[in-house]
């Protein structure tokens, strides 16, 4: 941020002028998403205004969702929250596109699991079928947002091992294979903490809050497509019910 003289003799309060300046810097990209802004003391000295004036401007920007305070770390420009309606079947890609964010995916691992009982029950697998596990890191913009853990019937979806999964899985299934994700079974969302496995992948400190969403996705005839357990960066995501 670069300082400039706030207008002392105007009807616009000084805190409002500072607030508008910070908003302008965010909109222009001078303050990028996730950037740390100067401290109250630094802003007070930079603009020759009181700390109370600075505090009032920051308080409003935090309340309106433009800034976020992190205990012991400072105040940061908020990353945009991706909104997803739980009552509707909306893919990650579609949710990001509705928020005007580009998405990419990276496959981290695939495995064939013979004995994974709660997944087998959810997918209604026969005794001679196995579980295909695919883990992807989902990016929104330039930052990771979701660690996706999906489980499929190996017999029905083994072809996914040969597919490019860097884009929308639902679009691939619908357009290439005529398998349309249509229904969602029971979906749960709970708050968990990033642990040693998930934190580095999502570029989050250990202990940061994550959403854990568990759901079963089915086709138009209510045949299971996949059971999923997704870890989502909480500060960048919100669910609507």
pLDDT at 101: 65
Q: How far apart are CA 121 and CA 112, in angstroms?
A: 16
DSSP string across the chain: -------SSSSS-HHHHHHHHHHHHHHHTSS-TTPBPPPHHHHHHHHT--HHHHHHHHHHHHHTTSEEEETTTEEEEPPPPEEEETTS---HHHHHHHTT--EEEEEEEEEEES--HHHHHHHT--TT--EEEEEEEEEETTEEEEEEEEEEEHHHHGGGGGS--SS-HHHHHHHHH-----EE---EEEEEE--TTHHHHTT--TT-EEEEEEEEEE-TT--EEEEEEEEEEGGGEEEE-
Question: What residues of the chain score a pLDDT lower than 70?
Answer: 1-5, 79-101, 237-241
pLDDT at 3: 47
pLDDT at 64: 76
pLDDT at 91: 63
> pTM of this prediction?
0.64
What domains, with CATH codes, occur in the chain? 14-77 (1.10.10.10), 82-240 (3.40.1410.10)
Give which of 1, 76, 72, 80 is closest to 43, Cα–Cα: 1
The model's pLDDT over 169-214, given as tens digits with 9 standing for 90+, comes to 999 999 999 999 988 888 888 888 898 899 999 988 888 888 898 9
pLDDT at 143: 80
pLDDT at 122: 94
pLDDT at 88: 47
């Amino acid at each position: 941020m670069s300082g400039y003289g706030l207008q002392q003799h105007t009807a616009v309060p000084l805190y409002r002028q500072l607030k508008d300046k910070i908003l302008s810097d965010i909109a222009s990209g001078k303050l990028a998403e996730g950037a740390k802004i100067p401290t109250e003391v630094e802003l007070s000295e930079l603009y020759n205004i009181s700390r109370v004036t600075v505090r009032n401007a920051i308080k409003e920007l935090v309340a309106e969702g433009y800034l976020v305070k992190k205990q012991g770390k400072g105040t940061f420009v908020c990353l945009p929250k991706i909104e997803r309606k739980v009552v509707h079947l909306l893919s990650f890609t579609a949710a990001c596109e509705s928020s005007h964010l580009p998405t990419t995916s990276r496959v981290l691992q695939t495995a064939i699991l013979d004995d994974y009982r709660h997944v087998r029950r959810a997918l209604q697998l026969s005794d001679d079928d196995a579980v295909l596990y695919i883990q992807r890191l989902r990016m929104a913009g330039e930052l990771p947002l979701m660690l996706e853990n999906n489980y499929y019937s190996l017999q029905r979806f083994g072809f996914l091992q040969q597919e490019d999964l860097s884009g929308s899985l639902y679009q691939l299934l619908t357009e290439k294979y005529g398998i349309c994700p249509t229904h969602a079974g029971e979906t749960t969302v709970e708050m968990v903490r990033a642990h040693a496995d998930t934190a580095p992948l999502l570029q989050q400190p250990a202990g940061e809050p994550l959403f854990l969403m568990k759901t079963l996705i089915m086709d138009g005839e209510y045949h299971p497509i996949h059971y999923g357990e997704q870890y989502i960066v909480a500060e960048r995501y919100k669910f609507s019910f």
